[in-house]
Homo-oligomer: A and B are copies of this chain.
Amino acid sequence: MVRVVAPFYLKPGMLDQFMETAAPLITETRKEAGCITYELAQSANDPQVLVMLEAWETQGALDTHVKSAHFTAIVPKLKALCTDNGAETALYTKLL
């Protein structure tokens, strides 16, 4: 299983717009083959910090996801709502 932790640091006041923009991405991604979990969550310490928490059955399923029409159309719009602080997506494989 492949796990993704993808942070988003919002520009001020962009939470509602981010959620509205992300909603169809989440809906469509959850329909994809190999998608186990795809959730948007908010930091308990800083409401401007969001994270997409993902679980995929295989790396191939994740590779297909990042080429999908909904990903390529929506993710740039989400990034435009974020600060330019170089938040990095972290990729993990399940051990236990």
Give the number of residues in A that approach B within 8 Å (Cβ atoms): 25
The answer to whether A92 and B3 have CB atoms under 8 Å apart is: no
- Whether A69 sits at the interface, judged by CB under 8 Å, is no
Other-chain contact of A44, B19, B22, B41, B92 (Cβ < 8 Å): B92
- Whether A33 sits at the interface, judged by CB under 8 Å, is no
CB of A7 to closest CB in B, whole Å: 9
The answer to whether B44 and A96 have CB atoms under 8 Å apart is: no
- Whether A73 sits at the interface, judged by CB under 8 Å, is no
Residue among A40, A91, A92 with max Cβ neighbours from chain B (10 Å): A92
Q: Which residues of A contact B (CB under 8 A)?
A: 1, 3, 5, 19, 22-23, 26, 37, 39-45, 50-51, 53, 90-96
